[in-house]
Every structure is written in C-alpha cells, then in structure tokens.
C-alpha cells in the first residue's frame, strides 16, 4: 500500500492508498474520509445550498475532485510518517505529519507540513482555474459553451439526434421531435444496412 510515491504537496485522492508517505492503517482512514465526506457534501449539502444549486456541475466535479482531492492533501499532512518521508528525501524529521509532530514534540514541523499541503492545494486550484478558463475561452471561439434553453428542455435528442439509453425504441426519434438532425443514429445505421442488403441481392441475381 506504500509502493508508489507521490509528492505530498501535490497529492490527489486517487493516490491516497499509494502515496508512499503514510502507513497502511492511515491510508484506510484517509480513504474512508475522502469517500464519505465528498458524498455527504454532494448528496446533502449541495441539495440544501441555494448557491451550489445555481452552479452547473452535472458531473459533481466540485465534490469528487476538489473536495476529495483537498482532503487527500490535508490528511496526508496529518498522517505523513517521518521514516517513510526520509526514504524519499534522505532527511529524517524534516517532513513530518502533524500527528507525528505532536507525538515527537515537533508540532511546529508538523504545522509546517500542513502549510505545505495547503499551499499545494491552492497552487493546483490556481492552475486549474487558469488553464480551464483559457481552454473554455478558446473553445468558445468555435462553438457555444452552453446549449440553448430550448435544446436543454429537449435533452440529448437535440444535440445528438437520439434519446440516451433508448433501448426500447432502438434510439428512434419522437414524431414531434424538433431535432436539427433528420434521423437518429440507429435509424441511419438501419437504413445503411438495408441499402447494403438490397445491393447484395441485386448483384447475386445478376
């Protein structure tokens, strides 16, 4: 559980179990908190917050990445084990988790590590905000970033010409659909297959 190393200042929740600077029991605790707390913020707090309800976050990125990742970084600062850190840095007692720092009468060193974790989290947030904003501005030059209100009311059929997971209808369009695509993807495939079969039959008859 401690085979792979990830620098503690840039930790992400996906690498909690493999960060290499915490013990296995600590990794289990970190995984428990980084799984349950983002779930609580997503399923309870988000639904009760008027501000979060206004945020267009369909994939719950705030909870699954920002909150979970930040928890991974902060908890690493609490549980970072001095001996494991010394294996990577070659210096003992320089990088110490806060809990170990308190136990070893090195609380200031532990607090320093928490500060490093927080700076790393803020740095990642800054890089993500800047890079994502630039990417969105570039994409906006070619296509709109948001669907129109009318298309959002229609749903997937407005954008893709078919219903999502419409297994019962094989993706067929509704008769009153106003999709800009003339037919669904499944209809196009069926028409192409029918045309191909007809051509094969004609060749065999000749």
Is the confidence at residue 37, as pLDDT, over 90? yes
The predicted structure's pLDDT at residue 14: 41
The predicted structure's pLDDT at residue 9: 35
More confident residue, 45 or 9: 45
Is the confidence at residue 114, as pLDDT, over 80? yes
Q: Of 70, 77, 73, 76, which is closest to residue 113 (Cα–Cα)?
A: 77
C-alpha distances out from residue 97 to 19, 66, 103, Å? 13, 22, 10
The predicted structure's pLDDT at residue 95: 85
Q: Are 187 and 198 in contact (CB under 8 A)?
A: no
Q: Are 101 and 80 in contact (CB under 8 A)?
A: no
CA distance 94 to 97: 10
The predicted structure's pLDDT at residue 8: 38
Q: Are 42 and 63 in contact (CB under 8 A)?
A: yes
Please, which pLDDT band fits residue 132 given cuts at 50, 70 and 90? very high
Q: Are 113 and 95 in contact (CB under 8 A)?
A: yes
Q: Of 105, 76, 65, which is closest to residue 18 (Cα–Cα)?
A: 76
Is the confidence at residue 200, as pLDDT, over 90? no
């Amino acid at each position: 559980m401690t085979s792979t190393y990830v620098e503690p200042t840039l930790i992400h929740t996906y690498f909690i179990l493999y960060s290499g600077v915490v013990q296995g029991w600590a990794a289990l605790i970190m995984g428990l908190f980084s799984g349950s707390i983002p779930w609580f913020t997503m399923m309870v707090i988000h639904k009760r917050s008027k501000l979060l309800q206004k945020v267009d976050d369909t994939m719950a990125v705030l909870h699954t990445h920002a909150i979970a990742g930040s928890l991974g970084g902060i908890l690493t600062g609490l549980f970072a084990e001095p001996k494991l850190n010394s294996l990577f840095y070659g210096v003992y007692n320089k990088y110490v988790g806060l809990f170990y720092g308190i136990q070893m009468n090195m609380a200031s060193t532990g607090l320093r590590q928490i500060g490093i974790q927080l700076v790393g989290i803020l740095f990642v947030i800054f890089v993500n905000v800047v890079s994502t904003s630039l990417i969105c501005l570039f994409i906006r030059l070619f296509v709109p970033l948001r669907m129109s209100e009318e298309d959002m009311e229609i749903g997937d059929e407005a954008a893709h010409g078919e219903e999502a997971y419409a297994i019962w209808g094989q993706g067929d369009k509704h008769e009153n659909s106003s999709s800009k695509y003339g037919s669904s993807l499944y209809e196009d495939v069926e028409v192409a297959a029918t045309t191909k079969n007809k051509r094969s039959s004609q060749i065999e008859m000749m």
